[in-house]
Amino acid sequence: MKIIKYPTEAERAEILRRPAIDTHSLYEAVGRIIERVRSKGDVALRRYAHEFDGVEFEDFAVSELEFDDAERSVSKELKDAIAIAKANIEKFHVAEKPEPYRVETTPGVTCWKKWLPIERVGIYIPAGSAPLFSTVLMLAIPARLAGCREIVMCSPPQPDGKVNAATLYAAKVCGISKVFKIGGAQAIAALGCGTETVPQVYKIFGPGNQYVTEAKLQVMRWGVAIDMPAGPSEVAVFADETAVPSFVAADLLSQAEHGADSQVILVSTSIDLITESLSEIERQVSKLSRKEIAQKALANSTAVLVASVQDGLDLLNEYAPEHLIIACEKTEQLAEKITNAGSVFLGNFSCESAGDYASGTNHTLPTNGSARAFSGVSVLSFMKSITYQSLTKDGIAKLGPTIETLATAEGLDAHRAAVSIRREWIGA
Amino acid sequence: MKIIKYPTEAERAEILRRPAIDTHSLYEAVGRIIERVRSKGDVALRRYAHEFDGVEFEDFAVSELEFDDAERSVSKELKDAIAIAKANIEKFHVAEKPEPYRVETTPGVTCWKKWLPIERVGIYIPAGSAPLFSTVLMLAIPARLAGCREIVMCSPPQPDGKVNAATLYAAKVCGISKVFKIGGAQAIAALGCGTETVPQVYKIFGPGNQYVTEAKLQVMRWGVAIDMPAGPSEVAVFADETAVPSFVAADLLSQAEHGADSQVILVSTSIDLITESLSEIERQVSKLSRKEIAQKALANSTAVLVASVQDGLDLLNEYAPEHLIIACEKTEQLAEKITNAGSVFLGNFSCESAGDYASGTNHTLPTNGSARAFSGVSVLSFMKSITYQSLTKDGIAKLGPTIETLATAEGLDAHRAAVSIRREWIGA
């Protein structure tokens, strides 16, 4: 990790910069995959399974038997842990119930709003360097709580042609029975367009590499919604001299092990905390199974010494990290001043991995600075709202002239006429 | 309007089909505009103002003087109508206040969630065939209620180099002072990337033609959020023999006058209602100033006779119209059965133009079938949520083993270690 002390404007811009991707070449490559899945359906999916995953399929659907095998192969200990995580995620997510509301805006003009589940949703679970069964919980639980009628899951097949056992078990305990062994951009295309086997869905959720993200952006052109454009995972740690260097190091490493492109930032008012944490990283990294990945990520990472707590907050709010750990005195006060972040972890005992798995918050969070405008996944992400209005005769008599004036000013005659014809009819 | 009686499966599919756009040629053309604005900033904007709008600019910003001129040129009657619409829109929108909530999911593990305004938002107001000052109200009012710190508006210049007076007046009464005379894809690029003059924003709202929509989709690649991908405007009318044919005709025409690509559908259980409404359309259309546009839209439109109310509901829910007028007996009961729509208008006196201008609901709604997954604009659209978690020593002691098991099963050592090091430290 590079240390930057009291960054200049240019250094600050450098810290805030996110890695760029060559979207143009991605656009072409992914566009071809989508077009082929759209026009050839299952035939294209079989071809990609052979080409990208090295497996031959007649049927992509995970069978009852495969679900049962998966369940048998998952240990009792893991099952218990999944049950605890599931209970916590449910407890936190169920508490956000969007309420309908109704307002009479003008006598005789009543407007209301109501939230409904999105009827068909798709969940994509990657299986690249790690089988992310925890993401099944994070997406399927709010989908169930929202009341989605059909939840379709896709996950890439392993070389043996199966989906990871823990992933399937997690799907089963969340009540998902439609799981397809399809990965990458072709899975997003299948969910977005539908094929003979895979049902078309209205919104697609889940992380993935840049092909998956590009495919999600492309299917938006047909009115398919997506959770968010996902980039490499990130953590920022804001620590002062009350933080524990070995904890800070462990937290930075737990993000760094995700991938060589992981974004890791340490911001502190204490140079001692920075140097001690960096020494701790050296000590801890050698013990990790994924140490090469973590080391690559750390090589591109920065520790920033700031002149004041306010400077640190300004930098972090502008950076808008996916995960933000605040290991400082008065954490609650500082957390109040955070305006842009996906999820915030307060104090020395709130490590990011708690939120990644089991605290109850969602781990599908906005990356790449998009926390400035996007929220993490919640029950609301699986719902949409509809507004309603009902005007009585009195309502249109009272509000009609206003509507007529506004429509006339916009040059929209027929809009005005739709009101006038009603006012004439009732003699208003 | 074509009449389809008791549609076959093939006819049904035809009714449900939305117009397709050639996204590939759009991608290239819009990509070039964005790239030029990104690399050349204001210079590119000046060039496009000359090329597309036929105006020469030194400064794009609307001046104090221009705001004052606009205010003087708007009639007292229009000002009063804008005031009434604004009051209704505020009354309805302010009622949706997302509440923070907090849950202790495990003893010592507390999670909470809070909504915050998106700090900088951009609003695009088109000015093609009609000056849409009503859209200023529909976007600026919820932005203000959400508490957005910076609201930047772009609208194309008229041939005289000014922005439409009513549009500027509406901006002023909503407290928007940063308005730029920029239109089309270049406006979206300026808001998405920022230039010397135009501040970069985190989320872009507003309707527009297919270039604008494509530009919105492309800026999402850099983590900029958008309200929704907008397509041609739509209305579906569900009417039975209790409906008034002249009202039905007026409502269909008020959508048809928007543009030749407007989508208009009449669904009814009564062939008499259909034929009478179509005759009424013939009578009414000749009086409209935009009759050529309306006639073109109607030429592509369909009236569908359905065998039962349930058949009608099924068709409409699958179609997912932007606007749905229910002019039937027992409207409230039928409205309860609508699962996909942007905004619903109940009864004979609730014309679409009421919601377009002044009932209080938002008129920025999902089109093109995207109401299956997208919601109309609301205060929430201008906010994002952050989740928080705080674990005490007891919390990590209790939940720690679960997190360790899950992290181990995902092969993420460092995630496990971040917990283990804390448990060792506290001797748990």
Amino acid identity, position B218: Q
The residue type found at A169 is Y
Supply the residues of A annotated as catalytic. 322-323
Query: How do residues B259-315 score in pLDDT, each as one tens digit?
Result: 888 889 999 999 999 999 999 999 999 999 889 999 999 998 999 999 999 999 999
- The pLDDT score that the predictor gives to residue A231 is 84
Q: What is the mean pLDDT of residues B162-190?
A: 96
User: Does residue A269 form part of some domain?
Assistant: yes
Residue A217 near chain B (CB below 8 Å): yes
Largest CA distance in chain A: 85
CB-nearest partner of A353 from B106, B359, B415: B415
Pairing verdict, β B234-239 and B323-327:
parallel
Q: How far apart are CA A139 and CA B28, in angstroms?
A: 35
Please confirm, yes or no, whether B323 is among the known catalytic residues: yes
Do B216 and B241 fall into the same domain?
no
CB A238 within 8 A of CB A323: no
Together in a domain, B361 and B417: no
In the predicted structure, residue B35 carries a pLDDT above the cut 90: yes
Cα dihedral sign for B186, B189, B191, B195? negative
B68 touches chain A (CB under 8 A): no
B8 is a domain residue: no
What confidence category does residue A347 fall into, taking pLDDT thresholds of 50, 70 and 90?
A: very high
The arrangement of strands across the sheet holding A109-117 comes to A101-106, A109-117, A383-391, B343-346, B323-327, B234-239, B263-268, B302-305, B2-5
Quick one: B241 and B122 in the same domain? no
Q: Do A190 and A44 reside in the same domain of the chain?
A: yes
Which tens digits make up the pLDDT trace of B213-265? 999 999 988 889 999 988 888 999 999 999 999 999 999 999 999 888 888 99
- Indicate which CATH number applies to the domain containing A273: 3.40.50.1980
In the prediction, which pLDDT does B47 show? 95
Query: Which sign does the torsion angle of CA A131, A136, A138, A139 carry?
Result: positive
Residue B27 and residue A27: Cβ atoms within 8 Å?
A: yes
With an 8 Å Cβ cutoff, are A415 and B357 in contact? yes
Per the prediction, chain A carries an average pLDDT of 95
Residue B73, chain A, CB below 8 Å: the answer is no
State what percent of residues in chain B have pLDDT above 90.
Answer: 89
Residue from A78, A372, A377, A404 to probe the interface with B (highest B Cβ count within 10 Å)? A372
CB of B27 within 8 Å of a chain A CB? The answer is: yes
Q: Are both B29 and B160 inside the same structural domain?
A: yes
Angle, helices B393-409/A76-94, rounded to nearest 10 degrees: 120
List all residues 6 or more positions away from A152 whose beta carbon is below 8 Å from its beta carbon. A120, A121, A122, A123, A178, A180, A191, A198, A199, A201
Do residue B192 and residue B263 come from a single domain? no
What is the rounded distance in angstroms from the CA atom of residue A78 to the CA atom of residue B409? Answer: 7
Confirm or reject contact between B414 and chain A (CB < 8 A): yes
Give the model confidence (pLDDT) of B39-63 as tens digits.
999 999 999 999 999 999 889 999 9
pLDDT band at A183 (very low <50, low <70, confident <90, very high): very high
Put simply, whether the predicted model's pTM sits higher than 0.90 gets the answer yes
Is the domain of A66 the same as that of A203? Answer: yes
CB–CB of B247 and A111 under 8 A?
no
What percent of chain A clears pLDDT 70, i.e. is strictly above it?
Answer: 99
CA distances from A201 to A52, A122, A396, B389 (A): 24, 6, 39, 32
Query: Which one is catalytic: B93, B276, B280, B323?
Result: B323
Contact (Cβ atoms closer than 8 angstroms) between residue A349 and residue B396: yes
Rounding to the nearest 10 degrees, give the CA dihedral for residues B41, B46, B50, B55: 140
Size of interface A-B (CB pairs under 8 A): 439
ipTM of the complex: 0.96
Which residues lie below 8 Å from residue A347, measured CB to CB, with a gap of 6+? A326, A327, A331, B390, B391
pLDDT at A320: 97
Question: Quick check: helix, strand or coil at residue A180?
Answer: strand
What would the pLDDT profile of A382-407 be if each residue is shown by its tens digit?
999 999 999 999 999 999 999 999 99
- Whether A164 contacts A148, CB under 8 Å: no
Q: Amino acid identity, residue A7?
A: P
pLDDT-derived band of residue B25, with 50, 70 and 90 as boundaries?
A: confident
User: Residue A184: which domain range?
Assistant: 23-226
Residue A8 belongs to a domain: no
Mutate to test the interface with A, among B17, B38, B76, B92 (most CBs of A within 10 A): B92
Number of domains in chain A: 3
Question: H-helix or E-strand containing B69?
Answer: helix B64-73
- pLDDT at position B221 is 83
Do the domain assignments include residue B175?
yes
Quote the minimal CA–CA distance from A266 to chain B in Å. Answer: 16
Give the residue from chain B lying closest to A357, CA to CA.
B403
Chain-centre distance for alpha carbon B315:
23
Same domain, B61 and B74: yes
A306 part of a folded domain = yes
Q: Quick one: average pLDDT of A298-319?
A: 96
Q: What is the pLDDT of residue B261?
A: 87
Asked if residue B350 has pLDDT above 80, the reply is yes
Instruction: Categorize the per-residue pLDDT at A58 as very low, low, confident or very high, splitting at 50, 70 and 90.
Output: confident
Is B373 an 8 Å CB contact of chain A? yes
Instruction: Please name every residue paired with B103 in a beta bridge, in sequence order, or none if there are none.
Output: B111
